[in-house]
Structure 1
């Protein structure tokens, strides 16, 4: 019996070598590329029509898996993908803590920097909604902005000032920088799942299409800039295993 096709549904990227503006979509694409698992990418612009109302999600044969963390667990169980196989129990615990910091706080700071920070006024509108018909673009954008503001407020980050929010980011980025040190990757000479998660956020912070204070906070840490470039080269090297549904 042949192995089922892997189909990934996520926010779009301009081309196979580019990263998605969604850290979580980038995370899954990067993991599949490092694992050498061919996949087909499906561009989705309306997460409201997905199985759980969020992106990315994965179809592996007849099985549908939503949420990037569940996708990682599925790929480990069903396809044997485990970038952390060489880590010690202590390193696995440290990796888990790093991932939670990045995905549960830094992610929301990325969201704030794009949607709320006045420096990015109009960037989200063009990046995420520019391809929609003009009659729908403004309506959907305003609805999404209202939802995003509410989510940031309920999460707690939206209750802080901009200076406080970017101070949080600086501390988190310094933690990643100190963990990395002068090593090629966070836990040594080979990339692990923590590297996939860190790269997905760092490359989004360094995107030139969003004017954000986060970019400067990364750029003052040269080891993070070099690290993002190193991971980016691995990501681009895996572009050939991605096919497109379009």
Structure 2
């Protein structure tokens, strides 16, 4: 039996199977199609074979990290959620996915990473608590920088305008997008009837984090919660395809007794993580010691270079300097 494909994604949180929208898109699409994936939910992207999340390890195409590339690969493996769609429905899928990328994604980035209150009290707090030490000291801010750069690319030249005006425009367009999605869904179970398609994976992964996160500043969240059919839609997908708490299945075998070789497969990444953590921590401590004056390098004249005992009082004086 061929080894299953391996998906590396961010861990569960906020009542969701994974907190990252891109990871959630891939994981939801895989659940829709029944693709046999061995899922690794992690809190350290350095444990991913690509260094980023999501990442799919495949037998034929190596490591895939782009969401659309991963879904395309699953389709090639005969796991196609859009198999029964008509040409018009396929065109609608492309149009709505483009709408999500242009109108809703920028506000999601701004809500979670750009809004100072939300970032400090919710986003950074979760990642800082989830990411292992010492990476949790700098990875959240690095991720924020990457997300804001992504927002700048999406917004283009408008990003250079007044931040207040840009924020108003982004939220206005996002509210219109949510209203349009609500009207398009109507009373249907999914966007194209009774069976989920790739569009449902994209819509769900954009709406669910906004719906489930406990944001201190949630004005767009309030608008989403006013659209009851979209809220019911997200709740139904969670209960149907991720029926366990926070999307995690209940443990079947204790880790200490597991004998399926999964631990040995992840051992290289654990070892790499441990080494990097030690090196980063050591470098941070040495750098702090030099900057604060705890450690200093002094040159002495040759006549002063003679062996002498270092007393406790001398050590304390050097620290005070």
- Report TM bin, short chain: 0.7 to 0.9
Write the distance in 2 (CA, Å) between the matches of 1:42 and 1:183: 33
1:137 deviates by 3.2
Distance 2:20 2:199 in 1: 17
Deviations, residues 191-242 of structure 1 (Å, cap 9, x unaligned): 1110111111111111233342232121111111111112222221496599
TM-score (norm 1): 0.85
Question: What residue number does 1:213 align with?
Answer: 219
Q: Who is 1:113 aligned against? A: 111
Provide the rounded CA distance (Å) in 2 between the counterparts of 1:233 and 1:136: 34
Partners of 2:85 and 2:124 in 1: CA distance: 42
Superposition RMSD in Å: 2.9
State the number of aligned residues. 243
1:143–1:72 Cα change, 3 Å: closer
8 Å CA contact 2:35–2:74 kept in 1: the answer is no
- In the alignment, which residue of structure 2 is the partner of 1:227? 233
Partner of 1:168: 173
**Equivalent residue number for residue 190 of structure 2:** 185
**Structure 1 unpaired stretches of 5+:** none
Q: What secondary structure does 2:8 align onto?
A: strand
Task: Please list the CA deviations of residues 65-118 of structure 1 after superposition, one character each: whole Å capped at 9, or x if unmatched.
Answer: 22111111111112x111112211011100111112223442231111011223
Change (3 A) 1:242 1:198: farther
Whole-Å separation in 2 of the counterparts to 1:67 and 1:53: 12
Aligned to 1:39: 37
Aligned partners of 2:90, 2:251: CA distance in 1, in Å?
29
- Whole-angstrom CA distance in 2 between matches of 1:235 and 1:174: 25
**CA drift at 1:30:** 1.2
Deviation, 1:7, is 0.7
- 1:206 partner SS: helix
Report the counterpart of residue 202 of structure 2 in structure 1.
Answer: 197
**Gaps (5+ residues) in structure 2?**
256-261, 264-321
Q: Which has the higher contact order (CA 8 A, sep 6+)?
A: 1
Tell me the CA shift for residue 134 of structure 1. Answer: 6.1
TM-score by length of 2: 0.67
